[in-house]
Structure 1
């Protein structure tokens, strides 16, 4: 049996190490082992059984053509990532996800605060009345105070991603490391689905906030709009943050979700 495993390892050494080739190798090994056991049950010797199995399943050229897989060119081997490099990249994606999500949420918060200030300080306000120009100026200042940090986070995030540009090129993972990362992604997915579900619920329920203030005051619709924007900012943060973390796993595993 070890002969079949070693043969497959040699045969797949010429192919990129990614999710597609890993699954193909596992499926092919299972098929070869099944055929080997059948031949042994028929009374064939080990050497004879191995020879028959290899002759039947030992050529993967047709499979490679069907899957449009290209063998690696000698001298142009892709980079093999270490566990440390993969962990650094995943941690970077988590930080990057937080920065992007926070930047977008802050900008949306800025729009909500602008509307809220106009309602609180504008003409006809029950709290404090200012001229329309003064209230507008304050609201714009608050908006800029949110937009500028949000944009700054995007720029900062881009500079931190530059050292990991090699992840956009061809690379390989050792089989054991690929399996470990795949297990981590599988453990992550239930939480991801729950958070996305929560974000969807927030988006669906947020329009209700438009009408709540109007129950108490027909002229308070602006408060409802601001509240809805606050809720949507939270949902957008959840989508971007958790979605980018999931995408990081997909990049490492070279899978498409």
Structure 2
């Protein structure tokens, strides 16, 4: 089957509910079109001439269905994803994930800096809190920007979607490229996180002069690791979702996701409050950060149990 004609027929039936009858008609049209194409080529027409003549003889899908006395209501909830839309959305997904990863790196580096300042007794506790609050401005702005961008790329849960053939091929190629470096990115991200924990151990050694500087290095290392994981995982999940072509989820699934998201969000809010309270009231900026890895572990466990229930 000529690829151009195959794409044409696929696009012709986009937006039409794929009933068994429609699938049969689509298959019959594909077979007859291929036979027509081969006949024209055997008659001496060039490839472009044969394709042009066949396409010109086609009417609209509505005319075809009307001629065959078949009624098919278009699926109004169906979102058609073409090549242009895909490239634009994928670019936004990469940008959004990069901003969120960068925000995480800056936030963790900020925590490391505060811990270093606390251990080195450079400034007062009140000044540490002021620096922390000022330093939060940029990460929070990046989190909000990245979240808004990613929010615009997500397909509505109430709608189904379908990829045009060109868009599907592009998606497969992009996913193949990501998969080729996915394992390396995971190893890099996890290694940087482990390296960060090792730096924390070094910072506790009193024999090393100015060892508290390793608080900054440790947090920054973990931040880079998380950034690497986010930057590769979010675009990969987006492309995988498009290819899986998941149907509309039921209300129970949507409610479960909403509840889980709220629980995870609440855990991080509580963790932040605990960190600030321990910092301001107990002056434990250097050790209170442990609440964040614990919270991350809890959210990971919640996600694992949620997936295992499905």
The TM tier, using the shorter chain, reads: 0.5 to 0.7
Shift of 1:221: 5.8
Q: Does 1:210 align with 2:200?
A: yes
Correspondent of 1:141 among 108, 130, 137: 130
What is aligned with 2:220? 230
Q: Partners of 1:107 and 1:147 in 2: how far apart?
A: 7
SS of 2:73's equivalent in the other structure is: coil
TM-score by length of 1: 0.61
- Check whether the contact 1:98–1:241 (CA below 8 A) recurs between aligned residues: yes
Shift of 1:98: 0.9
- Check whether the contact 1:93–1:245 (CA below 8 A) recurs between aligned residues: yes
- Check whether the contact 1:213–1:223 (CA below 8 A) recurs between aligned residues: yes
What is aligned with 2:73? 74
SS of 1:74's equivalent in the other structure is: coil
Q: Does 1:158 align with 2:147?
A: yes
Q: Partners of 2:205 and 2:144 in 1: how far apart?
A: 43
Correspondent of 1:173 among 151, 163, 167: 163
Q: Partners of 1:216 and 1:158 in 2: how far apart?
A: 42
Shift of 1:119: 2.6
* Count of residues in Structure 1 that have an aligned counterpart in Structure 2: 187
Matches within 5 A, 1:1-257: 14-15=17-18, 74-77=73-76, 78-120=78-120, 122=121, 134-166=123-155, 168=157, 169-213=159-203, 217=207, 222-254=212-244
* Larger CA deviation: 197-206 vs 164-173: 164-173
Q: Partners of 1:176 and 1:159 in 2: how far apart?
A: 28
Q: Partners of 1:156 and 1:213 in 2: how far apart?
A: 34
Shift of 1:222: 3.8
- Check whether the contact 1:167–1:251 (CA below 8 A) recurs between aligned residues: no
Residue 255 and residue 191 in structure 1: after superposition, are their counterparts in 2 closer, same or farther (change >3 A)?
A: farther
Cα deviation 1:7-38 (Å, max 9, x = unaligned) = x979997439xxxxxxxxxxxxxxxxxxxxxx
- Check whether the contact 1:110–1:144 (CA below 8 A) recurs between aligned residues: no
- Check whether the contact 1:113–1:142 (CA below 8 A) recurs between aligned residues: no
TM-score by length of 2: 0.51
**Residue ranges of structure 2 left out of the alignment (5+ in a row):** 20-71, 247-310
Q: What is the root-mean-square deviation of aligned Cα atoms in Å?
A: 3.5
Cα deviation 1:190-218 (Å, max 9, x = unaligned) = 22221111111122233321333455626
- Check whether the contact 1:116–1:222 (CA below 8 A) recurs between aligned residues: yes
Shift of 1:167: 5.6
Q: Partners of 2:152 and 2:200 in 1: how far apart?
A: 45
